Amino acid sequence: MDINNLQAFIEVAEKKSFSRSAESMKLTQPAVSKRIASLEAELASRLFDRVGRRVHLTEAGKVLLPSALKISSEVARIENELSSLGKEVGGKLSIGVAEHVSLDKLGMILRSYKTAYPDVDIDMLFAKSTNSFADVESGRLDMCLCAVCELQAINEFDARVAGIEVWKERLQVVVERDHPLQNAGRQNGGLTIEDLARYPGILPEQYCAVRKSIDRLFASRNVEANIAMEAVDFPTTRSMAAIGLGWACLPLSETREDENLVQIDVTDVDLFYSVALVRNPDRTMSRATMAFLDTLPARLM
């Protein structure tokens, strides 16, 4: 069975499109179609149904996909390990990143890693934690980064993946420089949760660790947050707050460089969020993975 045909099958199955798969693989669409046709002939099974422009896995395709992912992952691991034998650390490092992980903090780590190991090809996949966990378990990803409480909340993965806390950040309430809360804070020498509740806030989606922490804080004061909108990640939250659409609760690393945002003091607000690195302990670590773990500080505050 040709591994190139399997990889084409995986791409089409995930992207549900021959054209997008061809673009991703840097091939022509007829070349991708030829690989799929070859694989279907070899297996004597139709793998995709093509309805208009939409592509769906057949029953045979659904059976094949999990095994194809494992085979592709194992081939990539072997190639990675063999390519690095007797050489400097190289190969590929694949990392999943959950939406609410500070890209500023992650960027600092990756910059140091890339400087130390320039021959490593870093492949990053941004997705929900649950999807990244599944990819770590299957071997498609070497590791993923997510909020600690998201790791703890998904008990079904506890026995199959291992997580270590890699950094912890304080969360700060921020507003646009001319926001009414900024003036109220100056006049009153600080604000309360009740003050925040009087103004719209830009909060993460409900499943997010940061959102859960904020909800618990408001509930502890018997106050309901005034939610203007839910944002999918920290950069979106920061952008919406910076144009005055509401207050937000962000890690300091996400607001340090934004001149349009100011921090405001809110009484009794002392929130943190922690980020964990998750990997599959049953999977042999490549040299690139081990080097990444060695690069990580015990904790970044």
CATH number at residue 218: 3.40.190.10
Nearest to 272, CA basis, from 216, 192, 229: 216
- Put simply, whether the predicted model's pTM sits higher than 0.75 gets the answer no
Residue 196 maps to a domain: yes
Residue 59 maps to a domain: yes
Residue span of the structural domain in which 10 resides? 1-74
Residue 301 maps to a domain: no
Longest dimension (CA), the chain: 76
Residue 100 maps to a domain: no
Residue 232 maps to a domain: yes
Beta-carbon contacts of residue 2 (< 8 Å; ≥ 6 apart): 35, 38, 39
Residue 118 maps to a domain: no
Residue 288 maps to a domain: no
CB count, 10 Å around CB of 60? 15
* Residue at token pair 């773990």: 293
* Residue at token pair 């106050």: 223
pLDDT in tens, 60-115: 999 999 888 888 887 877 776 676 565 677 788 899 887 767 777 788 888 888 88
pLDDT in tens, 27-66: 898 999 999 999 999 999 999 988 777 888 999 999 999 8
CATH of the domain at 20: 1.10.10.10
SS3 116: helix
Of the three residues 51, 74, 97, the one that is the final residue of a domain is 74
Mean pLDDT of the chain: 81
What integer pLDDT is reported at residue 142 of this predicted model?
87
> Total structural domains in the chain?
2
pLDDT in tens, 255-294: 776 788 888 888 777 787 778 888 887 777 888 888 888 8
